[in-house]
Chain A
């Protein structure tokens, strides 16, 4: 577990942490809401079926089947919710004074770590589409680079315009520091 608040993977000398970026809290709220909905669903189904066919409760075989199916369903939903949470929570961008490090958990057995030197940044675009993103101020951030991975995309981050401006500023500072002309 990462304990240091200013943790930077493979830290270079003089490098300073600017921000760790996670998806906007609304993404996590949506996960929790979907999870709660999926938890309530069998209750509604079972209530409806026992209301329509009360004799089912007296049938031991059907009751046993519904019990096993229901518990299996709940275990699956619980596990799936934690999995979705994990893929979002472990999807982190670390912005430092020299680099952007993207750590992405694609699945249980798939993890991608990519790095972008700030002086390689060519273009930064932020995008907010839709009612909720506009009201809650979240959206996508696109960074075009001259590196191997040409386009860095981070979806559903908080204040994408502000973050784009911060990265732009850091990019200019990095270009001055490394004496590289603006692209």
Chain B
């Protein structure tokens, strides 16, 4: 089997990036609501700033961790497939 077809660890990270995109869109909408309908109060501003700070720290940290991985590691051992194909071809013979 062509080893290029076996998904790599990057599969998880693409999933994470999708979650990240959803997070950014929804966060912007929630913050918009807090700014549009909320009061100009210390608590409201503090919550928004704290949320942005924690989000930024979390995303930055996640990027450092994720980029530290080798993205080319395959999720399955290609030897398994070569064993199967070998067995099948042996049976045909």
Contacts and interface: CB of A to CB of B under 8 A. Distances in A.
Contact of A103 (B27, B35, B37, B58): B37
Interface residues of B, number: 36
Contacts of A61: 9, 73, 75
Given A61-B9, A76-B23, A86 B16 contact: no
A108 B40 contact: no
B27 A89 contact: no
A2 B40 contact: yes
A108 B73 contact: no
Interface in A69-86: 69, 71-72, 74-76, 78-79, 82-83, 85-86
Interface string A38-77: 0000000000000000000000110111011101101110
B47 A85 contact: yes
A105 to B, nearest CB: 7
Contact of B33 (A69, A79, A105): A105
Contacts of B39: 1-2, 7, 20
A74 B51 CA distance: 12
A105 B65 CA distance: 37
Interface in B9-28: 9, 12-13, 15-16, 19-20, 23, 26-27
B54 interface: yes
Contacts of B70: 60
Contact of A64 (B9, B20, B29, B31): B9
A60 B26 CA distance: 31
B62 interface: yes
B30 A78 contact: no
Contacts of B54: 78
Nearest to B43: A89
Contacts of A67: 12, 62, 65-66, 69
Among A20, A68, A72, max chain B CB count under 10 A is at A68
A33 interface: no
B34 A90 contact: yes
A165 interface: no
17 contacts: A1-B35, A60-B73, A61-B73, A61-B75, A64-B9, A67-B66, A68-B13, A69-B12, A72-B19, A75-B20, A75-B58, A76-B19, A78-B51, A82-B30, A86-B34, A90-B33, A90-B38
Interface of B: 9, 12-13, 15-16, 19-20, 23, 26-27, 29-31, 33-40, 43-44, 47, 51, 54-55, 58-59, 62, 65-66, 69-70, 73, 75
